[in-house]
Structures are given as C-alpha cells and as structure tokens.
Amino acid sequence: MMCLDNGAFDESNRMYVSSYASSGIAEVYPNGQIRQVVPQNLVGPYGVTVDFGGTVHAADHYRLGDDLAIFSHGIVADQDQLHITSQYGEVRTNQRVRARELDRPVGIAVRDDGALVVAEAGAGRVIAIEADDTITVVASGFGSPVDVAFDAQQRCYVSDELGVIYRIDDGQAVAIASGLATPQGLTVRGEELFVVEVGHQRVLAIHLDTGERRVEADNLAISPPEKTARALFAHGMPGCPGQFAGIAVGPDGSLHVAGEGSVLRISREDS
C-alpha cells in the first residue's frame, strides 16, 4: 500500500491502516507483511485517455496508473506524453507545470498545432496553452464547461454541465445539442460526438452534421449529479473534487468511460 493516512488498533492489538491514494484497508503484521481486508480500488476515476499503443490511462485523483500524481483529473495522451489537469488550478505535461492558478480546469485536448485546449469550468471559458506556455482565450461565456474534444476538421466541441454541447466557430460558441442532463466527458469517433450524460447515466452519440442522437450505452456505473456542490477548498486546504466522468476512444474504436470506481470499455460490437 502507498500513501497511508489512518491507522487503528483493535482489542487484540492488531493494526489496520488505510490508503487515501489507492483506497482499501489492510492489516499490518509485526513482521511488516500485510493482509488486505478491504480491497484496493480506484478513487475516482475522472479523466481517461488511450494512447496509440492501446494503453488506457486513468486520472484517479491521487494516482496515474501506479505513479503518484496528486490531484489529477483531466488527461489526454499525446505521443509519449501525458497532459493532465488538476481541478486545483494546474495543467501539467508529465511533471512539467504548464499553467497555475486556473479556476477549476477539467477536460483537456490537444489541438493539431500542439496547443493544449482546456475547459476552465470555474471561469466559464475554454483556453489554449501554447508551446511556450502562453495562455489565450479560445471562447468564453459558458456556464460550466467541463470537457473539450476535436473532430477530424479540428472543430472544437465543449460540454457545459448546464445541459448544452457547443461547437466553437471563429471564437463563438454555437449550441449543437441542448436539453441534456449534466453532460460531461466528450470524445469524437468518425462522424459522431460521444458525451457522458451523467444525469441519465448513459453515453449519448450525436451526429456531427445532422445532430441526430442515439443512446450508445445506458445504465452505466456513473454517480448521479450532486445536488449540492462540494467545496473545492476548505480552510485553505484542498477539499472534495468535483465530479467528472471522462470518456475516450481507443485505436480500435472502442470507447472507455471513467465511472464510479472503474473504467468501462464499450466495444463497437457492443454498440
């Protein structure tokens, strides 16, 4: 176990410890050996991405795979690099900090010119981080943007938790779908945009040209929307992260959805 945070002894002087990063509870023997009492599991997970080799990377708040990666939420693979957002204000490329003090950055994507495009939920805008870390505003005026995705023509799409999917045309946000129930994670496959509609615990497919909708998968293990927003900071310390259900498409066309303690793979055959 790593990142132990609490310990307790029972009446027989047996010691139990928990992990805030990998979850679970283990009994620790005097010789240092452990017995897992409550199995380890994922903490979120939140964002998810699939690299060109087919490896799935999940941003699990305190972990990224087997590595410690504090407060990781949005994630995107770009060749041999991973770009990560933290809802606590940072954007990183691997361990290099690209931006600080942003207002709840969540979803992230890579533009064809190499710039990182980020949904800054707390500021109601989408920003671009250039190679020299210069920040520019791509579009603003959103309610609560949480994810971004690009299609083959490099058109940028934004999910707004208030129920709308936008396409950014020349810096202006154009609604392409509305009336959705807490849309969060976005990804594009072919001519369709896939969105995790958290309020209905499903993945919805939207045709990019016609706007036609269909349900790709439903009854998913995704937490329903929270009725009361949790405090991101409490007494100057990091508090509870906001909910974010990510989605990504793999090289074989399968979809990967980050849900409640798991990553679900939806193959084309299951669609």
Question: pLDDT tens digits for 99-130?
Answer: 999 999 999 999 999 999 999 999 999 999 99
Question: pLDDT tens digits for 174-195?
Answer: 999 999 999 999 999 999 999 9
Report yes or no: 97 and 85 within 8 Å, Cβ to Cβ: no
Task: Check residue 2 and give its pLDDT.
Answer: 57
The H-or-E segment that residue 164 falls in is: strand 164-169
Q: How far apart are CA 150 and CA 109, in angstroms?
A: 7
Strands 75-78 and 67-72: unpaired
Report yes or no: 268 and 255 within 8 Å, Cβ to Cβ: no
Owner of token pair 């709840």: 104
Q: How far apart are CA 12 and CA 150, in angstroms?
A: 58
3-state secondary structure of 269: helix
Q: How far apart are CA 142 and CA 154, in angstroms?
A: 20
Q: How far apart are CA 252 and CA 271, in angstroms?
A: 14
Structure tokens at 255: 């979809």
Q: How far apart are CA 173 and CA 156, in angstroms?
A: 10
For the whole prediction, is pTM greater than 0.85? yes
Owner of token pair 């994630």: 75
Looking at every residue in the chain, the average pLDDT score rounds to 89
Report yes or no: 105 and 121 within 8 Å, Cβ to Cβ: yes
Task: Check residue 231 and give its pLDDT.
Answer: 77
Q: How far apart are CA 185 and CA 151, in angstroms?
A: 15
- Residue 156 pLDDT more than 90? yes
Task: Check residue 221 and give its pLDDT.
Answer: 85
- Determine whether 242 is exposed, middle or buried from the number of CB atoms within 10 Å of its CB (0-12, 13-18, 19+): buried
Report yes or no: 52 and 79 within 8 Å, Cβ to Cβ: yes
CB atoms inside a 10 Å sphere around CB 75:
26
Going from the C-alpha of 172 to that of each of 33, 102, 139, 152, 213, the distances in angstroms are: 59, 21, 6, 19, 23
Task: Check residue 70 and give its pLDDT.
Answer: 75
Structure tokens at 243: 């909910």
Question: pLDDT tens digits for 181-236?
Answer: 999 999 999 999 999 999 999 999 999 999 999 999 999 988 777 777 777 777 77
Is the omega angle on the peptide bond into residue 45 within 30 degrees of 0, that is, cis? yes
Task: Check residue 95 and give its pLDDT.
Answer: 87
Q: Which residues contact 125 (CB under 8 A, 6 or more apart)?
A: 137, 138, 139, 140, 141, 142, 145
Question: pLDDT tens digits for 40-87?
Answer: 667 778 999 999 999 999 998 877 766 667 789 999 999 899 999 998
Task: Check residue 97 and give its pLDDT.
Answer: 95
Q: How far apart are CA 58 and CA 65, in angstroms?
A: 7
